[in-house]
Amino acid sequence: MAPRRLVEVYLDLLSQPCRAVHILLNCTKTPHTVRTVALRKGENRTPDFTKLNPMQKVPVMVDNGFVLTESDAILKYLAIKYDMPEHWYPHQPERRAKVDEYTAWHHTNTRLHAAKVFMLEVLLSAQSGSQVDEARLNRALSQLDDTLDKLESMFLRRQPFLCGDDITVADLLAVCELMQPLGGGRDVLQQRPQLQRWRSRVQSAVGESFDQAHAVLYAVRDRRKAKL
Ligand SMILES: N[C@@H](CCC(=O)N[C@@H](CS)C(=O)NCC(=O)O)C(=O)O
C-alpha cells in the first residue's frame, strides 16, 4: 500500500483565511506541508493551480488526494479528521451549531468589511499609486464598526471566545480578518477594549503560531511605515 502523504495546504500568508488554516495546523502541531501560492505573482492563475482550484483562490487543502477549498470547510475537516482537541469544532450539537452560526455569518460581515478597509487603504493605493478614496474608506469603516458592534453584542457577549468558553475555528477566522487592516497601520480594535481582550486571549491560546502566520502582514505594515 502506498504510504499516506502529509496533508498539503496551498497558502499565501497575506491572505486572511490562509492564516487561519496555518495557525490551526501549527498550534495543534499537525504534520503538514505548505505549498506557497504567491498571489501577487499570479501563481493562483497557473494551469496547474487552476486544475486544483478552478476558482483560482487560496486556501486549498489536499489530503491524500482529497481536494478541499473554502477555509471554513478546510478548518472543520482538519479538526475532525486529525482528531484535534474537541474545543476547535465541538461534537455536542448545540456547541457545534454556534460555531456554524458564526462561520456562516462571517463571510458577509467580518470578512467582507475588514477586507474592504485593507483593500482601500493598502491594495488599491499600491496598485494604482493613487490617494486613498476617503469617502469610500469612511463608508467601509462605518460598515466595519457595525460588524464590530455585532461581534461584541451577539457573539462575544460575556463569554471569553466568540462561540463559548473555549477557542474554536470561528475565532481563528475572525481574528485573521480583523488583523488584516494592520497591514495599512490601522488597528481596527483600538477603541474596542472588549474585542482587544478577546484578541489577546486568542493570541495566548494559539501561542507563537499567531505571530508566525502574521509575519508577512507585519512586514507589509513596517514597509509602509518606513515609506511615510
Ligand atoms: N471564501 C474563501 C475565500 C478565498 C479567497 O477569497 N481567497 C483570496 C485571498 S484572501 C484569493 O485567493 N484571491 C485571489 C484572487 O481572487 O485572484 C475562503 O474562505 O477560503
| pLDDT tens, per residue, the chain with 228 residues | 677 789 999 999 999 999 999 999 999 999 999 999 999 999 999 999 999 999 999 999 999 999 999 999 999 999 999 999 999 999 999 999 999 999 999 999 999 999 999 999 999 878 877 788 899 999 999 999 999 999 999 999 999 999 999 999 999 999 999 999 999 999 999 999 999 999 999 999 999 999 999 999 999 999 988 887
Amino acid identity of 166?
D
CA of 70 to the centre of ligand 1 (A): 8
Residue 53 Cβ inside 6 Å of ligand 1? The answer reads no
Domain limits at 45? Answer: 7-87
pLDDT value of residue 216: 97
CA 9 to chain centre: 14
Q: Please report the sign of the dihedral spanned by the C-alpha atoms of residue 187, residue 193, residue 199, residue 200.
A: positive
**Cα–Cα distance for residue pair 82/166, rounded to 1 Å:** 19
CATH number at residue 190: 1.20.1050.10
201 located within any domain: yes
* Closest ligand 1 atom number to CA of residue 15: 10
pLDDT value of residue 163: 98
- DSSP label of 37: -
Residue 58 Cβ inside 6 Å of ligand 1? The answer reads yes
Of the candidates 189, 194, 179, 185, the residue with the CA atom closest to the CA atom of residue 220: 185
**Cα–Cα distance for residue pair 215/68, rounded to 1 Å:** 25
CA of 55 to the centre of ligand 1 (A): 9
Identify whether residues 40 and 83 lie together within a single domain: yes
Identify whether residues 48 and 119 lie together within a single domain: no
pLDDT value of residue 34: 98
**Whose alpha carbon is nearest atom 14 of ligand 1?**
57
CA of 17 to the centre of ligand 1 (A): 8
Identify whether residues 69 and 117 lie together within a single domain: no
Backbone angles phi, psi at 7, to 5 degrees: -65, 135
Identify whether residues 82 and 97 lie together within a single domain: no
**Cα–Cα distance for residue pair 220/122, rounded to 1 Å:** 9
Identify whether residues 79 and 98 lie together within a single domain: no
Identify whether residues 147 and 178 lie together within a single domain: yes
Backbone angles phi, psi at 55, to 5 degrees: -80, -10
Among residues 64, 87, 110, the one where a domain terminates is: 87
Among residues 53, 71, 87, the one where a domain terminates is: 87
* Closest ligand 1 atom number to CA of residue 173: 19
Tally of domains within the chain: 2
pLDDT value of residue 227: 82
